[in-house]
Structure 1
Amino acid sequence: MRAYADKAELKNEIDRSFEKYIAEFDDIPEALKDTRAADVDRTPAENLAYQVGWTTLVLKWEDDERRGMDVKTPSERFKWNQLGELYQWFTDTYAHLSLAELKARLTENVSRIDAMMDSMSEEELFQPHRRKWADDATKTAVWAVYKFIHVNTVAPFGTFRTKIRKWKKSAM
């Protein structure tokens, strides 16, 4: 997994990869948001719904811990061995929205993640055992908060950008 020198570098990478990812949806007509394409596992709406879902969870984990709540990862309704069901829940919850609404929600979530990181010290972000939700999310690995942010922003923005480009070549 990629390491970052500091908070500013992580934020810059999130923002850079997000701008490239979200721009891929600019030329997709609303009428095609639910269209399936060969060799692509998600429609454009499902692609965005997945990202909205995970970024919403990251924000919820931090918000709940700050309020003194017992955080359940990945969520109150799903365990880590139920990711398929969680992904379907993301689709059921968000994919009915328009592409514009999905893009707006994801843009807001990325802004909120930036603000969340701004509210944390470098130690809280990059050192393990600074958030109970991060400690409890993994049973064998020790992850700092930044790793959860990375795997739910930078990493999928790149991977899913490739998928949406492949979808465009096949469906449009």
Structure 2
Amino acid sequence: MGVPQTKSELLLAIDKNHNKLSGYLASIPPESASDESMEGHAKGSVMSVCNLVAYLLGWNKLVIKWITLDAAGKPVDFPETGYKWNQLGLLAQKFYRDYSDLDLCSLRSQLQDAKNEIVESIKKRSDDDLYGKAWYGKWTMGRMISFNTSSPYANACGRLRKWAKENNLKL
């Protein structure tokens, strides 16, 4: 599937990639979920499956924050207050800390809830709202949502497949 260009394509990409991710996560043994043995988001770092899901949850929560602020007519501080785009490794570390007290089951549940909230928000908008005008720099709202939901879900699936193969786990 290519980059979503319409509301329906965006919803399909989010659901397809999230469903695949959910299936993979459901097959991770709970005792392996906290092992920091997966290639991390910052070069040379390692993370756990829980960290990976915390990262996705953090970005989904940011998308919700951006949409909520925008809907209220308030300025959006992309990517996050106190962080610049060249500090995404630091932001990843923040997400790991923010959700460090949650187990994989809780992380999966919260990610599902955040994804559902984003989907409901998308459903309330038209194709023109999502793809008709720039929202951040040259990027449309739909593209910014895709950058931070369906694309990272797909990336996470690849990371999980590689990690599972290295650890002799079947997804």
Q: TM-score, normalised by structure 1?
A: 0.86
What CA deviation, in whole Å up to 9, does each residue of 1:111-160 have, x standing for no partner? 1111111111110101223xxxx32xx4xxx0101111111122111111
Alpha-carbon distance in structure 2 between the residues aligned to 1:2 and 1:101: 31
What CA deviation, in whole Å up to 9, does each residue of 1:32-82 have, x standing for no partner? 211122656431001101100111101101101222322211111212222
More strand by share: 2
The aligned counterpart of 1:22 is 22
CA RMSD of aligned residues (A): 1.9
Alpha-carbon distance in structure 1 between the residues aligned to 2:98 and 2:58: 8
Q: CA deviation at 1:99?
A: 0.6
Alpha-carbon distance in structure 2 between the residues aligned to 1:27 and 1:170: 15
Total equivalences in the alignment? 163
Alpha-carbon distance in structure 2 between the residues aligned to 1:156 and 1:53: 11
The aligned counterpart of 1:160 is 156
What are the residue-to-residue correspondences of 1:1-172 with 2, within 5 Å? 2-4=2-4, 6-37=6-37, 41-129=46-134, 134-135=135-136, 138=137, 142-171=138-167, 172=169
Contiguous gaps of at least 5 residues in structure 2: 41-45
Q: CA deviation at 1:89?
A: 0.2
- Alpha carbons of 1:50 and 1:12: their partners in 2 closer, same or farther (altered >3 Å)? same
Contiguous gaps of at least 5 residues in structure 1: none
Asked if structure 2 preserves the Cα contact closer than 8 Å seen for 1:45 and 1:96, the reply is: no
Query: SS of the counterpart of 1:24?
Result: helix
Asked if structure 2 preserves the Cα contact closer than 8 Å seen for 1:37 and 1:170, the reply is: no
Alpha-carbon distance in structure 2 between the residues aligned to 1:164 and 1:43: 10
Alpha-carbon distance in structure 1 between the residues aligned to 2:86 and 2:74: 23
Asked if structure 1 preserves the Cα contact closer than 8 Å seen for 2:24 and 2:160, the reply is: yes
Query: SS of the counterpart of 2:47?
Result: coil
Alpha-carbon distance in structure 2 between the residues aligned to 1:14 and 1:57: 16
Q: TM-score, normalised by structure 2?
A: 0.86
Alpha-carbon distance in structure 1 between the residues aligned to 2:89 and 2:21: 23
Asked if structure 2 preserves the Cα contact closer than 8 Å seen for 1:48 and 1:95, the reply is: no
Asked if structure 2 preserves the Cα contact closer than 8 Å seen for 1:38 and 1:170, the reply is: no
- Alpha carbons of 1:30 and 1:124: their partners in 2 closer, same or farther (altered >3 Å)? same
- Alpha carbons of 1:5 and 1:62: their partners in 2 closer, same or farther (altered >3 Å)? closer
Asked if structure 1 preserves the Cα contact closer than 8 Å seen for 2:39 and 2:47, the reply is: no
- Alpha carbons of 1:38 and 1:93: their partners in 2 closer, same or farther (altered >3 Å)? closer
Q: What letter corresponds to residue 35 of structure 2 in structure 1?
A: T
